Amino acid sequence: MAKRNSTARTSKSLVERYQEAAPQLYALQFEIRELAKKKAEATLSKGKVSLINRVLQDIKEHFSEQSGGKYLQLLDDEALPQLSDAVLIIAQFAAVLSEFKERYYNFDDGWLTK
């Protein structure tokens, strides 16, 4: 985790994107983890990959410049991934969002925006 810099600021627009995307991502992460506990090697359907990638694409588009953002990749909708693969990929996205909040949110002052 990056150390909090009290002078670090982000845009209100990016905070809004975070507030929209984070609950969606964390809900997906929970569900995929639960499914993977039962059958980690099960393959995701094309419909599920499409649904997940819609959320991931939005995050990748807006947070790729954040710490760890350069490693973000979508699920492969041609060679459908296993649940265990999806867990790992979604975890990378969750880490970027977590790092963003750690860097720009202060429990005393709220979001540190420009």
Let me know if 96 is exposed, middle or buried by CB neighbors in 10 A (0-12, 13-18, 19+). buried
Average pLDDT over residues 75-104: 96
Average pLDDT over residues 65-90: 95
Average pLDDT over residues 72-86: 95
For residue 1, pLDDT over 50 is answered with no
Tokens of 67: 């710490």
Distance between CA 105 and CA 91 in Å, rounded? Answer: 20
Mean pLDDT for the chain overall? 93
Q: State phi, psi for 43 to the nearest 5 degrees.
A: -90, 140
User: Could you tell me the pLDDT band of residue 4, with boundaries at 50, 70 and 90?
Assistant: low
User: Could you tell me the pLDDT band of residue 45, with boundaries at 50, 70 and 90?
Assistant: very high
